[in-house]
């Protein structure tokens, strides 16, 4: 099963929708599969099984064909489907070339950490999110930063300056925002659930663990 949050991320990665309004129009075309307004979008029971997922792709293609006024054009349906996958950026290896931390988000060991703490992560995300257009539950980046402060991850205390002339990025709000700059939903100031997990990976990547621990080459799943 894929949750609605997962499908929203799929729409963004596949470039099926570039805004909340476009995404909402697609969901309206999926009215037999997804009930609006979208509620409890992290609950897989409200999500799509594999057959429904494939059907949603087919219905989305037909929706785009209607928007383009091509319903009577021979071969239009096949062309729209092919164009959807040609335009999309779903291939993981290609995305990793542009952003190597993408591989950390989808690694087996890190996904196990997310699974083990799924209840807590979902509760934090759900409790602190806002509804965009009454359908899209998303976490403002400002709220994400506040969560880091409240959890003690981001503090005013900075680690001692490194010895030997080594240059390290300071772990502060400015550099965290720069690190998560490319993560975001249709509005870059907001995070879907997948974006939320992505930001946690990026924060863990730059978090200043004690030198003694760093010497042991901590893996990303241990950092998380």
The pLDDT of residue 18 is 87
Do residues 90 and 201 make contact, with C-beta atoms less than 8 angstroms apart? no
The pLDDT of residue 159 is 53
Q: Where is the domain boundary, 87, 117, 141? A: 87
Q: Is the pLDDT of residue 88 over 90?
A: no
Q: 75 and 18 share a domain?
A: yes
Q: Where is the domain boundary, 43, 59, 87? A: 87
Question: How does residue 154 score in pLDDT terms, banded at 50, 70 and 90?
Answer: confident
Q: Is the pLDDT of residue 13 over 80?
A: yes
Q: 58 and 20 share a domain?
A: yes
Chain Cα centroid distance, residue 53: 18
pLDDT digits 0-9 by tens, 155-199 = 866 555 444 444 456 788 889 999 999 899 989 999 999 999 999
Which region, left, alpha or beta, applies to residue 100 given φ > 0 means left and ψ of -120 to 50 means alpha? alpha
Q: 99 and 191 share a domain?
A: yes
What are the helix (H) ranges across 31-172? Answer: 50-67, 76-87, 92-98, 102-106, 108-116, 118-128, 141-150
Residue 43: give the domain boundaries: 4-87
Q: 58 and 167 share a domain?
A: no
- Mean pLDDT to the nearest integer, 100-116: 88
Q: How far apart are CA 224 and CA 204, in angstroms?
A: 6
Contacts of 137 (CB under 8 A, 6+ apart): 5, 38, 41, 42, 125, 126, 129, 130, 131
The pLDDT of residue 164 is 47
**How high does pLDDT run on average in the chain?**
83
Question: How does residue 143 score in pLDDT terms, banded at 50, 70 and 90?
Answer: very high
Q: How far apart are CA 126 and CA 5, in angstroms?
A: 11
Q: 101 and 194 share a domain?
A: yes
pLDDT digits 0-9 by tens, 119-130 = 999 999 999 999
Q: Where is the domain boundary, 57, 87, 117? A: 87
| Structural domains of the chain, count | 2
């Amino acid at each position: 099963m894929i949750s609605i949050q997962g499908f929203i991320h799929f729409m963004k990665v596949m470039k099926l929708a570039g805004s909340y309004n476009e995404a909402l129009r697609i969901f309206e075309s999926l009215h037999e599969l997804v009930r609006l307004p979208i509620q409890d979008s992290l609950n897989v029971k409200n999500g799509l099984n594999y057959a429904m997922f494939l059907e949603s792709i087919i219905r989305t293609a037909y929706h785009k064909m209607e928007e383009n006024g091509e319903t009577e054009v021979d071969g239009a349906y096949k062309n729209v489907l092919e164009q959807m996958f040609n335009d999309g950026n779903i291939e993981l290896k290609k995305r990793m070339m542009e952003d190597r931390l993408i591989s950390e988000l989808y690694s087996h060991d890190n996904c196990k950490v997310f699974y083990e703490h799924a209840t807590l992560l979902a509760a934090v995300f759900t409790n602190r999110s806002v509804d965009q257009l009454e359908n899209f539950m998303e976490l403002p980046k400002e709220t994400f930063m506040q969560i880091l402060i409240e959890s003690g991850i981001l503090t005013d205390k900075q680690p001692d300056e490194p010895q030997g002339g080594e240059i390290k990025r300071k772990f502060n709000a400015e550099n965290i925002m720069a690190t998560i700059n490319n993560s975001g939903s249709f509005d870059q100031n907001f995070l879907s659930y997948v974006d939320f997990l992505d930001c946690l990976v990026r924060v863990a990547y730059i978090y200043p663990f004690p030198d003694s621990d760093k010497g042991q080459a901590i893996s990303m799943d241990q950092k998380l």
